[in-house]
Amino acid sequence: MINANIISDLQYFGSISYIKELMQSDLVYFNGEQLYSKMSFKNRMIIGTAQGPLHLSIPIIGGRDQKISMKQIKIAYHIPWMNQHYKTIVSSYKRSPFFEYYHHDIKQIYATQPEYLHDFLINVNEWIKKQIKGKWEISLIEPIHSKNHSTECLPKNYDQIQNPIVYQQVFEDKIGFMPNLCILDMLFCCGGKQANGLLLAS
């Protein structure tokens, strides 16, 4: 079932529960004027590794405690985080069924150096939408009759959601299923077609 319009945060390769909500929406408004908040998925994603879930964070200029809008947050490039994140993704997912299908695109995403975090996350959102054949549209103004989606799913409790979507993961035989990782985990393990079905059916 498709929801009405929603107001939501942008996320860095968002969690599966987050992408599920986008999939069930018509129109999404990403409010770039809201204040940046630390300990969120705005600049963090969680992937699956042989040792368990791993948090990957985008460093920002000015640190995590600044009180400015999302559109003003600038990405820090004084450390090679893009290369580090890409190499970690390759190490974790190179044996996954759909790695070869997606890894060139991921490499291209990490080859860019946008100044602002908001712009980078918009580009990531558009890529995800294309891979899973999402139907939501991005609104530049707050939609009428919108639902304010302020997720309770945070990096500290992301794995405590009810009824997580289950699928075969790379390291499941070794360490068990890891719920609600970033959407990349589902794409690498299932591919876009199956991911679309899982996100809409659950």
Amino acid sitting at position 85: H
Q: Quick: pLDDT tens for 11-20.
A: 899 999 999 9
Write the CA distances from 96 to 19, 190, 195, integer angstroms.
Answer: 21, 9, 14
- Rounded to an integer, what distance in angstroms lies between the CA atom of residue 16 and that of residue 21? 9
pTM (two decimals)? 0.90
Taking alpha carbons only, the member of 155, 47, 176 closest to residue 99 is: 47
* CA nearest neighbour of 129 among 55, 27, 52: 27
Tokens (6 digits) for 133: 């054949």
Confidence label for 10 from pLDDT (cuts 50, 70 and 90) = confident
Question: Could you give the CA distance from residue 65 to residue 9 in angstroms, rounded to a whole number?
Answer: 18
- Average of pLDDT values for 65-88? 91
Query: What average pLDDT does the segment 58-70 reach?
Result: 83
The percentage of residues in the chain with a pLDDT greater than 70, rounded to a whole number, is 88
- The alpha carbons of the chain give a radius of gyration, in whole angstroms, of 16
Give the C-alpha distances (Å, rounded to integers) separating 100 from 88, 91, 119, 137, 138. 15, 13, 26, 28, 29
Q: Where are the domains of the chain?
A: 5-201
pLDDT category at 51 given cuts 50, 70, 90 is very high
**Tens digit of each residue's pLDDT (9 = 90 or more) over 94-127:** 999 999 999 999 999 999 999 999 999 999 999 9
Position 40 pLDDT exceeds 70: yes
What are the pLDDT digits (tens) for 122-177?
999 999 999 999 988 887 666 565 555 555 566 676 778 888 999 999 999 999 99
Residue 68, CB-side half-sphere exposure with 13 Å CA sphere: 13
